[in-house]
Amino acid sequence: MLNKAIKASGSEVTVFTSSEYDGDIEDFQTAVNSWLRSQPENIVIEDVIYQHCGHTARGKDIFSMVIISRST
């Protein structure tokens, strides 16, 4: 936990959604992991938010992931 608040203007929000990957969980995981590996050493991940919203009419999962990061 930080001792003082940080300015949100330096934060970046990255969103991944299942619709971007046609509901393919492996492609989704690969994209998230690839993004994480491609970040420079000075990036700090502030929060990761995962949400599962149910299923489409065709039975595919609806989910998203938000990653909040900032440079140090």
Indicate the pLDDT class of residue 1, thresholds 50, 70 and 90. low
- Would you list the domain boundaries of the chain? 10-71
- pLDDT > 70: percent of the chain: 92
Tell me: the pLDDT tens digits for 3-54?
776 667 788 999 999 888 887 889 999 999 999 999 999 999 999 999 888 8
2 falls in which pLDDT band (50, 70, 90)?
Answer: low
Architecture of domain 10-71: 2-Layer Sandwich (3.30)
pLDDT digits (tens, 9 = 90+) for 52-65: 888 878 777 888 99
The total of other beta-carbon atoms located within 10 Å of residue 27's CB is 13
Q: Give the number of residues written for the chain.
A: 72
